[in-house]
Chain A
Amino acid sequence: MTPAGDQQVLNELRGTILRMVYHAREGHIPSAFSVVDILYTLYRYCLRVDPAHPDREDRDYFLLSKGHSGTALYPVLAHFGFFEADSLLQYCKPGSRFGGHPDALKVPGVEICSGSLGHGIAMGVGLGLGLRLKNITKKVVVLVGDGEMEEGSFWESIMMARNTGLTNLIVIADCNNSQGYSHPFDFIRILQSFDWATAEVNGHDVEALEATLRPLIHGPLTSPTFVAARTRKGHGIARFVGEHAWHRRTPTESELRECLEELK
C-alpha cells in the first residue's frame, strides 16, 4: 500500500512531470511514471542525503543510470528541497538547468550525467570502491532499466562488482517489461547465479518499497544486491500503460487536462 499522504504527493509529482513535458514538447512521460514511486520512496524514506549540502562526502549516493527518467528525478529533488521547484517548467528550454537527460554539473543532487545506457552501474562500482577505500560506510544505489540490462557493460559491471567484493552497492532495476521483443529472462535467478543477493518488490507500492530498500541501504550487506522492482510503464494514467506510442509523445492541451483530472 501507498499511504494516502504519500499518494497525494506522488499525484502532484506526476502532474508536474506532465506539465514539464507538455511545455517542453519533449520528454519521456511513461518512463518517468514507471520510476517516480521508487525515486520518491528513496528520497523520502531511505537515502541519507542532505539537500542543503548535496555534496557532503558522507552520504548515500543515488545514481540514475536510465537518464531518460530524469524527467521524474527533477521534481522529486525539487520536492525534497535540493532546489526551487519554480524553474521546472523551463525543462528542455534554452538556458535551463534541466535537460532531457540530467547533467550532474548543473543540477544539485544529480550525481551523474546519464543518458547513454549501461554507464551508471560501472560508475557506481567505482564509486563504491572509492567509498570503501575511504572507510565511508554509506551506500551506492543505482537505478537501471530492465531494457538497459541488455547492454554488455551492465554485465561486465555485475561481474566486476562481485569480483571486487563490494558490499555497498544496491542496483534497483525498473522492471517494466517494456522491451516487448525481449525474452522474459528471469533476472533474479540470473543475478543469484552471479552470487548477488536479490530481492523483488512492487515498484509502485511505497510501503513495500520502503520495507525492502531501507534495510538494504541502512544495514550492512554481505554482497552486492539486486532489487527487481516490478513496475508498469506509464503507471498512474490509464491511457499510458501498455501504449508504446506514448514513449516519447507529448500530450495535447486537452489530453493534459484529462490526465491532470485523472490524477486528482
Chain B
Amino acid sequence: MRSQFARTILDVGLSDPRLTVLVGDIGAFGLRDFARQCPGRFFNIGIREQAMTGAAAGMALAGFIPVVHSITPFVVERCFEQIKDDFGYHRLNGNIVSVGGGIDYAALGCTHHSYSDIAMLRSIPGSRVFSLGSPIEVDTLFREAYAVPGTLNYFRLGGRPHGFPIEASDLKIGRGIKIREGRHVSLATMGPLLGFACQAADELAVRDVSAEILYFPTVKPFDRELLRSSAEKTRRIVIIEDHSVNGGLADEVRQAIEGSETSVRIKALGIQDQFLRDYGSFDHLAGVAGIDAPAILRAVAGLGLP
C-alpha cells in the first residue's frame, strides 16, 4: 500500500508540477524517488507535524497541491486544529495520507493506534475520507480525488491489504462496492477488514446464511444508496471497522438508514469505549477488539441467524 502510494505520487508528481509532498521524517526514505525526480517539491519537515500541516496549507495558498504524510496519530490527532483551521476553514485543496490507522501498529501501544482519525476528518465540513485496503484503491482514488479545488482529502492506507481483487472501474469517489450478493445479512466494512468479512461470509455460507458484503473505500461522502438498498433486502447489518464505534463507518451507516421505512437491526463492531492496551499481531488485537471473523459470526448470531 505504502509502496503503491510512493509510485502513485511519483507518477502524478511528474505530470503535475503543483504537487508537493511534506513528510514528518517518517516516510522520507520510502518517498525518495519523488524527492529525486521532483526536485524542490519534497520537504522533510522533521518531527513537527503541526507546523508541517500549517505549512502545507500555506503552500496551498500559493497554488500548490500539498500531500502531507506520516503515521496516523501524528498527522491527524496531533494536528487536528491545523487541519480544521488551516485547511478546512480556508477551503484549501490538500491531501493527508496516513499509515497506521486503527490498530495497524498492534504491538506498539495506544500512542501508535488511532481509532478517531476518521471521526475527526469526517467532522471537517467539505472533507472527503477514504479508508483503503488494497493498492489499486490507493492509485485510483488518489488520482481521482487529489486535485479537486477546495477539497481536503484524507486517505487512510491500511497496513495489510485485504487480498480481495477490486476492479479499477468499480472505484469512484463516494461509491461503495458490493463484493458479494446475499439475502440474510449485510456486512458493511472498510479497509483491511474486508478480509475478515470475506472469511466470515464463507463460514456463514456453510451454515446456509447468505451474507451480502458491502465495501466502502470512500467513507465520506458515503454511498447511502448502496447501503439502503442492501438493508431493505436483508434487514440486518453488521458494521465492521478498525475505528471507534463513534463517528466512523457505523455513524455513516446509521445516518444512511435514518428515517427509512424499513426496520433494520444493526450491530456495530469497532473499538468500543476502551484503549486496546494489549500487544501482539494485528489478528490478535482484532480479536481483542472484537472485529475479526469470529466476532462477525457472533454478531450475526446475535441478530437471530444461525
Q: B-contacting residues of A (Cβ < 8 Å)?
A: 57, 104-105, 111-113, 115-116, 118-119, 121-131, 133-134, 152-153, 156-157, 159-160, 163-164
Contacts and interface: CB of A to CB of B under 8 A. Distances in A.
Given A119-B85, A119-B86, A157 B54 contact: yes
Given A123-B57, A127-B58, A160-B45, 13 more contacts: A57-B63, A113-B90, A122-B54, A122-B57, A122-B82, A122-B86, A124-B58, A125-B51, A126-B57, A126-B61, A129-B55, A156-B48, A156-B50
Given A123-B58, A126-B55, A156-B50, A113 B85 contact: yes
A125 B58 contact: yes
A20 to B, nearest CB: 23
Nearest to A61: B61
B61 A127 contact: yes
Contacts of B48: 156-157, 159-160
Contacts of B81: 116, 119
B142 interface: no
A129 B59 contact: yes
A35 B82 CA distance: 25
A119 B81 CA distance: 9
B90 A105 contact: yes
Interface in B86-138: 86, 89-91
Given A123-B58, A126-B57, A160 B90 contact: no
B87 to A, nearest CB: 10
B43 A129 contact: yes
A187 B3 CA distance: 44
B110 to A, nearest CB: 22
A126 B62 contact: yes
A134 B59 contact: no
Contacts of B74: none
Contacts of A131: 62
B64 interface: yes
* Shortest 10 CB-CB contacts between residues of A and residues of B: A126-B58, A130-B62, A122-B54, A126-B55, A156-B51, A156-B48, A127-B58, A123-B58, A153-B50, A122-B51
Nearest to B50: A153
Contacts of B41: 133
Contacts of A125: 51, 54-55, 58
Contacts of A105: 90-91
Pick from B50, B62, B89 the residue with the most CB of A within 10 Å: B62
Interface of B: 20, 40-41, 43, 45-46, 48, 50-64, 66, 81-82, 85-86, 89-91
Contact of A129 (B58, B86, B91): B58
Given A153-B50, A153-B82, A113 B89 contact: yes
22 contacts: A104-B90, A112-B61, A113-B89, A119-B81, A119-B82, A121-B51, A121-B54, A122-B52, A122-B54, A123-B54, A126-B54, A126-B55, A126-B58, A127-B59, A129-B43, A129-B58, A129-B59, A130-B58, A130-B62, A133-B20, A152-B50, A160-B52
B62 A127 contact: yes
A227 B110 CA distance: 42
A185 B101 CA distance: 40
A119 to B, nearest CB: 6
Nearest to B40: A133
B64 to A, nearest CB: 5
Nearest to A125: B55
Nearest to A67: B85
Contacts of B66: 126
Contacts of A127: 58-59, 61-62
A133 to B, nearest CB: 6
B51 A160 contact: yes
Pick from A119, A126, A131, A160 the residue with the most CB of B within 10 Å: A126
Contacts of A112: 61, 90
B46 A159 contact: yes
A160 B62 contact: no
Contacts of B59: 126-127, 129-130
A119 B85 CA distance: 8
A128 B58 CA distance: 8
A121 B41 CA distance: 20
B136 to A, nearest CB: 31
Nearest to B53: A122
Contacts of B52: 122, 160
Nearest to B22: A126
